Amino acid sequence: MTYATRYPVLHAPQRWDWAGIDAVFTTEPVPDELVTNIHVVAFVGERIVLCRDTRDVWFLPGGTREEGESIVDCVARELREEAGVSLAGPLGLIGAHRCVSDRPEPYKPWQPHPERAMLWCHADVVVDGRPTNPDDGEHILEVRVVDLDEAKVLLLTDGPQFPEMVDLAVELKSR
């Protein structure tokens, strides 16, 4: 049975109006030069780190890759900014949303356009600080480390695909 069969909501085509993007999830690797955003299912043992912002949405930490920034450097920065955590091990690939934008220009001038990818990873982390909340980022109101079932319920505030993203991350991490 394929990942797409086992995780149908995650693999269903999606429209993200907030970004003018049509997206499809894949577990196949994507070219590094297409990766504009990276998000992490961050594990503290068997529990998962979630962030809540001013929209009252719970989400997995991550964000936009800066010009010339490596994937690992982006993850480390975003984890610190949004969750106050640090990497405690290597990144594991979950997959990526392959995206096509209908906007006339890229979100940032150095990003590929109209095609791009949002990478999803899993990693072990340690809670060793507080979110730094930079002026140009989301304002994080709360960070929680929660069990798997609570994570899947809270993540529904961000979208119906995220419980399956967490389940896939747990499956891949256990390999």
For the chain, how many structural domains are there in total? 1
Domain that holds residue 16: 3-173
Secondary structure class of 42 (helix, strand, coil)? strand
pLDDT for the residue numbered 136: 84
Q: What is the pLDDT of residues 17-26, one digit of tens each?
A: 989 999 999 9
**The CATH number of the domain where 35 resides is what?**
3.90.79.10
- Of the CA atoms within 13 Å of residue 40, those in its CB half-sphere come to 35
Secondary structure class of 74 (helix, strand, coil)? helix
Share of the chain above pLDDT 70, in %: 100
Q: Which of 42-46, 67-71, 137-141 shows the lowest mean pLDDT across its residues?
A: 137-141
- Cβ burial, residue 117 (10 Å; 0-12/13-18/19+): buried
pLDDT for the residue numbered 102: 97
Q: Is the pLDDT of residue 1 over 90?
A: no
Neighbours of 137 (CB within 10 A): 16
Please, which pLDDT band fits residue 64 given cuts at 50, 70 and 90?
A: very high
- Of the CA atoms within 13 Å of residue 129, those in its CB half-sphere come to 16
Q: What is the pLDDT of residues 52-61, one digit of tens each?
A: 999 999 999 9
Q: What is the pLDDT of residues 123-167, one digit of tens each?
A: 999 999 999 988 888 899 999 999 999 999 999 999 999 999 999
> Which own/partner pairs from 110-114 qualify as long-range (CB within 8 Å, at least 24 positions apart)?
110/67, 110/68, 111/36, 112/33, 112/34, 112/36
Residue type, 170: V
CA distance readout (Å), 108 to 53, 89, 114, 162: 22, 30, 12, 26
Residue 143 β-bridge partners: 51
